[in-house]
């Protein structure tokens, strides 16, 4: 079981339907790859939340489900709400430790590259660095969503409106599809490496822009 834990990006705000959210797209990809496996991806995203609210439901929404993997998308609302980034990081650090103690693997997902986030560059960059540090400290994966999406726009010249909806914050169907595809590709890669007995690096999952 995989638990997708987070806020509106996980819940799927901006998608045209539940089947187009990233957790459902990820589940579909993994089921195609592993047709004989019992693949379950639980969407535990609630819009508007960040670490303070998520920590209150970490036990019931995540740990009590005994997942194999937790994909934790966090940090964007902390930036938008001007929460103390250091305090947010402490909560995420504590949450990752609790998830690991319960026996689950973790991948953190950082902020999205979107107008409402990039208009707060200092806070956004601080949060991204803190999440990366937590991932390194706990030897867990980090999906650098901000860098992936920035690459779409700056290097591949894709207009932001092609992957972010009109509110200037949330991803659209295309954005969620690409996010899920990249995440799924690297989950598949890491599973293959484990089966081959390859020693995985500290950051188990290696992400790249599309």
Determine the Cα–Cα distance for residues 120 and 34; give it in Å rounded to an integer: 41
Residue 20 has pLDDT above 90, yes or no: yes
Determine the Cα–Cα distance for residues 147 and 67; give it in Å rounded to an integer: 28
Residues 77-86 pLDDT 10s: 999 999 999 9
Residue 17 has pLDDT above 90, yes or no: yes
Show the tokens assigned to 119. 């208009």
Closest CA relative to residue 106, chosen from 165, 32, 187, 10: 187
DSSP 184: H
> What pLDDT score was predicted for residue 50?
97
Residue found under tokens 């997902």: 109
Determine the Cα–Cα distance for residues 175 and 15; give it in Å rounded to an integer: 9
> What pLDDT score was predicted for residue 194?
52
Q: Judge contact between 107 and 142, C-beta under 8 A.
A: yes
> What pLDDT score was predicted for residue 184?
93
| Average predicted confidence (pLDDT) for the chain | 92
Determine the Cα–Cα distance for residues 159 and 153; give it in Å rounded to an integer: 6
Residue 129 has pLDDT above 70, yes or no: yes
Determine the Cα–Cα distance for residues 198 and 120; give it in Å rounded to an integer: 40
Q: Judge contact between 75 and 68, C-beta under 8 A.
A: no
Residue 210 has pLDDT above 80, yes or no: no
% of residues, the chain, pLDDT over 90: 88
Determine the Cα–Cα distance for residues 120 and 13; give it in Å rounded to an integer: 21
> What pLDDT score was predicted for residue 190?
81
> What pLDDT score was predicted for residue 189?
86
Displacement of CA 143 from its chain's centroid (Å): 6
Closest CA relative to residue 92, chosen from 38, 46, 152, 142: 142
Fold annotation for 2-196: Rossmann fold (3.40.50)
Determine the Cα–Cα distance for residues 205 and 151; give it in Å rounded to an integer: 18
Task: For strands 41-45 and 141-143, give the pairing.
Answer: unpaired
């Amino acid at each position: 079981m995989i638990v997708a834990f987070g806020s509106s990006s996980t819940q799927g705000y901006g998608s045209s339907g539940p089947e187009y959210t990233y957790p459902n797209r990820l589940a579909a990809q993994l089921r195609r790859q592993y047709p004989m496996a019992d693949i379950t991806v639980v969407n535990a995203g609630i819009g508007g939340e960040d670490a303070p609210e998520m920590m209150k439901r970490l036990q019931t929404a995540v740990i009590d489900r005994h997942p194999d993997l937790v994909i934790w998308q966090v940090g964007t609302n902390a930036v938008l709400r001007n929460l103390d980034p250091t305090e947010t990081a402490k909560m995420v650090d504590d949450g990752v430790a609790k998830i690991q103690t319960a026996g689950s693997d973790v991948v953190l997902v950082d902020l999205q590259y979107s107008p409402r986030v990039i208009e707060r560059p200092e806070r956004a960059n601080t949060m991204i660095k803190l999440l990366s540090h937590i991932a390194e400290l706990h030897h867990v994966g980090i999906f650098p969503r901000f860098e992936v999406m920035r690459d779409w726009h700056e290097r591949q010249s894709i207009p932001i409106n092609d992957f972010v909806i009109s509110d200037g914050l949330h991803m659209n169907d295309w954005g969620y599809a690409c996010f899920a595809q990249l995440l799924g590709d690297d989950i598949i890669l890491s599973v293959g490496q484990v089966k081959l007995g390859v020693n995985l690096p500290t950051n188990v999952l290696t992400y790249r822009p599309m």
